[in-house]
Amino acid sequence: MAQSPATVLGNLEREIAAEIQKRQEPLRAFGMSTEVDAPALATPDYVEHRDGTTEIGRLSAEAIVREYEVAAKDTEAMGNLLIERVKQCEAMTRDALAVTEELKEVAERYREEAKRVFTEIESCSQTTAEVRQTCVELSEKITFPATTDGPKQKKKQPAS
């Protein structure tokens, strides 16, 4: 079934609108205007018409200077956006420096804890060595009572 010319035209308009919308997304991401406004009717203060210029020359010059003015304003807007990004970077840098200081403090606490654990382990090791030595000494005392000076020895007989 054939579509009516109005339906085909409506579909075409929707496709064009969708394509325009898609192409404007990058501009919106940078905060730039996607609307094309008609330039203001007043001529900017920094230009003046010369005497003897034809009407077509005046209108053409005004149109061109207005277009340049719009581009200049968009450029200034981009500069303002860039300044905002710089401020964000500066804030991020300040935050990163603050976090770096905190990380140094955490690292120092880890070193102090490592030193404490190191000393504790060495102390436990010394205590364990002392306990083992005491056990050996007690074991020897139990095995060879003090009343006997070690294993029995043969008495020497006087030489005749």
Under 8 Å between Cβ of 14 and 20: no
Taking the whole predicted model, whether its pTM rises above 0.75 is answered as no
**Residue 112 domain-assigned (yes or no):** yes
Q: Phi and psi at residue 18, in whole multiples of 5°?
A: -65, -40
Residue-wise pLDDT for 84-122, tens only, equals 999 999 999 999 999 999 999 999 999 999 999 999 999
**Gap between the Cα atoms of 63 and 68, Å rounded:** 9
- For the chain, give the mean pLDDT: 84
Under 8 Å between Cβ of 24 and 34: yes
**Residue 78 domain-assigned (yes or no):** yes
Structural domain count of the chain: 1
**Residue 13 domain-assigned (yes or no):** no
